[in-house]
Every structure is written in structure tokens, then in C-alpha cells.
Chain A
């Protein structure tokens, strides 16, 4: 193990913004071995280290958002900014409850559900969501709801930022203009879809089965991957996402949310969708 590895490791810690990155680092360690892996596992005592065929990902993929390597039990990814970082658009108490309580509960419930199923533990949460039919019936709904809750919220924290707002750039911007007419038209359609999602759920920009951009909604914690689409970005329209600040005024929340969208990260997800 050379200095480069160590540097990469410490950079990884500094930038650790998603479960995927965390897992990639951890898998990386298994391959390179040595005391650092023990140190990390000691710090983060989780079962992901049991991944059977870990191979070091290329350095560039540390920025990707795909989580298919997340096998075994889940860990609550740290929020990549402070609870109050998204104020005034999203208040600190909401962020704390949302991340530390709601998201944590999805993680815990999921882990509990797969405890007795080694077969499920050897698969990633996204793989299970894509293939709900193979899950034993007694835990299928629990995995669907809580696995979805984890994947959705893990993305959600990443696609927001205190430096967010503005407009998408590059290819994504072009594609949005082509599909929806303009960025403003896209925003309007996205907000309308979010406002009309009755009950709890999410509003999404996805790359659909034909590879086209599309605005969709899902009920509760369902994720577009369950229908074979790629979620490029999504906003949480469960009441817990906005009730403390916006109360019944979901439309105001949907409108304010643009101020915290991390278009850099959304753009990365778009590239990933395009690359398949």
C-alpha cells in the first residue's frame, strides 16, 4: 500500500457523501488489506465488508450515484452538510428529524427484515427493489417500503446542497429544454406533479425505458427503478419533508426547493442514466 492509496483513502473520507462511496472505500480496503481495513471496520462495524467479489472501482467512479454494490445490511449515510445548511428553505429541525429519525428508521427496519435471509443479504438493496418478486412474501413489503425509503433518501441528501439552486448545465439542460420546452416549463410541470401526488410519495425526473426524460410520481417510498426507469432527481412530498415549515402548503415547499437543488450532482446522475 503506497502513499497514493492513503491519500485516496483520506480524500475518500473527506468527500464521503454517499453510501456508495462509503462502500466503495470499504470494498477497496478489503482488496488492499492491511490494518486500515481493520481500522475502518472497527469504526464502521457493518456487514457490507462481507461483499463476496469486491474489486477496486476505478477512481473516477467514486463520484457516481449508483448503489448496486451496497450489499448486505444498510448504514445511514451521514448528511453531507449541517442540519441548518439548507435554511431558510428547509429548516434544521426538519432536516434532523428527516435524516436522523425517518431515514434511520428505514435503515433499521430494512436491516431487521433481512436478518433471517442470507440470500437477501448477498444482494444489493437496488437489486432487490428491481426484483421484488424474488423476495419472500413475508418481508417483501417491508423491503419495498424501507429499502425504497433508504435509496430515495440517500439520493435526496445528495441532490441538495447549501450551494444549490440555479439551473442545470450542459447536456442535461439541453435535454430538459428539448423535452419540456424550457427549464421554467420543466419546473412548472415538476411542481404540478408533486402537488398532485395524493398522500405520501415522491415526484421524479427520470430517464424512462425509452431513454427519454419524463416527470413521474411514485406512491410512498416506491422508486422508479421498480419500473425500470432511472431516477435522475426526486423531491420528497411526504408531509414530514415540509410540515414544520410549510404546513399544508406543499406547493410553496415545491417552489422553494429549487433553491437547494444541487445541479452538479443531478447532472452526474443524468450522465450515469445516459451511460446506462
Chain B
């Protein structure tokens, strides 16, 4: 059974007032994400991986050094997770258990935000910034290209795509502005909280 692309959890133009344009989604969701899924299907067609879950394909291909399969499988998963991390008029500070956990593990929300901004800004080249739960402790990490916390035995809670295609139409070279806007206007903290609850 082929892997399929889940619909965006919002209208492609819904985040435009929050700093992520419909144009960006037209390409990022409509072309980049779609291409990863299509390539993945081509690569696993007729192999034993074709019937595995996406998570299993990611872990297996990573372990076995099947780079092309891993890259496309992980990017298929990363983008699906990323869309869920976004919402119109999101961002700002989290609340409840999540807020308490962030304060406990980082000292304060501001310290978390600073660490996250730094990770996202310094991921040289293409990649992702993450908030993960690592054996019960929250951590900020960054990964290159397609790599993700699933292959590092960490539970991803939040991610930001810092491939240039994620921000070039809206922010051009200004990645720090893109990161700041993400934290202030786009983060879907409800999704992050649900990830923490099930971690």
C-alpha cells in the first residue's frame, strides 16, 4: 500500500496573516512534500518496506544505511509533523503542564526560546530544529537535511523546517526573522502539549 500525503490541517492561505504565505504552501506542501512521498513510493515499491509503517521505514532505512529511502521517508514524516506544529495566530507562550515542564527543564520560556532560535539559526545548510523529550527531559536539538529525533530515540514535540525552501519566498535570506515569526505567531502549542502528554 502506497504512502499518501495527508491533507494540510488548515487552509493553505490561513497562515498568511501569521507570516506564512499561501505561495509557500503551494510549493512546500504541494511540491516538496508531495515529491518526497512520491519518491519514497517509487523507492520502496515491490520491497518489504512497502508494507511497513512510515516510522518503521525511517528507522529501518536509517539503520541499514539506505540513504535515499531514509531521506524521502524522513522528509515525508518531518513535513507532516511540521504542518501539525503550525496554526493561524499561534505562537507566544505555552500554558499548563507544557509550560511548567519547559520552565523546569530550561529555566524559563525565554531560555527555551533563545535556545530554539539559536539551534534553528545555526543549523548550517538544510535541516530542522526540534524540541524533543529525551528520556523524559526536554531538549532543543537540530538535525541536518532529513534526519529526525525518531532515529535518535527521542520523542519529537515540536519542529521547524529551516531548509531555505521553507522561508525563501516569505523571508528570503532572513532566517532569523522566519524563526522569530514562527515562535511568535505560528506554533501550535496544543499539538506540542498533546505530544508531551503521550511521550
Asked whether A198 lies within 8 Å of B173 as measured between CB atoms, the reply is no
Nearest opposing residue in chain A for B174, CB measure:
A101
Contacts of B172 in A (CB 8 A): 97, 101, 244
B68's nearest neighbour on chain A, judged by CB, is A198
Determine whether the beta carbon of A220 is less than 8 Å from that of B164. no
Contact between chains at B145 and A198 (CB < 8 Å):
yes
Contacts of A101 in B (CB 8 A): 172-173
Are the CB atoms of A244 and B32 closer together than 8 Å?
A: no
The total number of A-B Cβ pairs within 8 Å is: 53
Which A residues from 176 to 193 make CB contacts under 8 A with B?
none
Q: How far is the CA of A221 from the CA of B126 in the complex (A)?
A: 11
User: Is the CB–CB distance between B126 and A200 below 8 Å?
Assistant: yes
B169: chain A residues at CB < 8 Å are 243-244
Given the known interface contacts A238-B164, A239-B164, A248-B27, the answer about A199 and B173 at a Cβ–Cβ threshold of 8 Å is no
Q: Interface residue count for A (Cβ, 8 Å)?
A: 20
B165 adjacent to A248 (CB under 8 Å): yes
* Residues of chain B lying within 8 A (CB to CB) of residue A239: 126, 163-165, 168
The interface bits of chain A over 191-204 (1 if a CB of B lies within 8 angstroms of the residue's CB, else 0) are: 00000001111000
CA distance A101 to B27 in the complex (A): 24
A96 to B47, CA, bound (A): 47
C-alpha gap A230/B164 in the complex (Å): 28
CA distance A19 to B144 in the complex (A): 31
Q: What 0/1 pattern do residues 134 to 149 of A give for CB contact below 8 A with B? A: 0000000100010000
Contact pattern, B 139-153, Cβ under 8 Å of A = 1, otherwise 0: 000001110000000
**How far apart are B180's CB and chain A's nearest CB, in angstroms?**
17
Chain B residues bordering chain A, tally (CB within 8 A): 20
Q: Provide the B54-71 mask, 1 if CB < 8 A to any CB of A, else 0.
A: 000000000000010001
A247 within 8 Å of B by Cβ? yes
Query: Which one of B31, B125, B145 lies within 8 Å of A248 (CB-CB)?
Result: B31
Whether A268 sits at the interface, judged by CB under 8 Å, is no
| Contact (A198, B71) CB under 8 Å given A101-B173, A243-B165 | yes
Asked if A102 is at the interface (CB within 8 A of a chain B CB), the reply is yes
* Docked-complex contact B168 and A244, CB < 8 angstroms: yes
CB distance from B166 to the nearest CB of A (A): 9
Determine whether B10 belongs to the interface, using a CB cutoff of 8 Å to chain A: no
A240 and B125 contact, CB distance less than 8 A = no
Binary CB contact string for chain A from 246 to 276 against chain B (1 if under 8 A, 0 otherwise): 0110000000000000000000000000000
Is there an interface contact between A240 and B144, defined as CB atoms closer than 8 Å? no
Nearest CB on B from A156, distance (A): 16
Q: Distance (Å) between the CB of B155 and the closest chain A CB?
A: 24
Cα distance A239–B124 when bound, in Å? 13
- Nearest-CB residue, chain A, relative to B72: A198
Residue interface mask B116-140, A partner, CB < 8 A = 1: 0000000011110000000000000
The residue that B173 contacts in the complex, of A97, A141, A201, A221, with Cβ under 8 A, is A97
Interface CB pairs A-B, < 8 A, 8: A199-B144, A199-B145, A199-B163, A200-B125, A240-B164, A240-B173, A244-B169, A248-B31
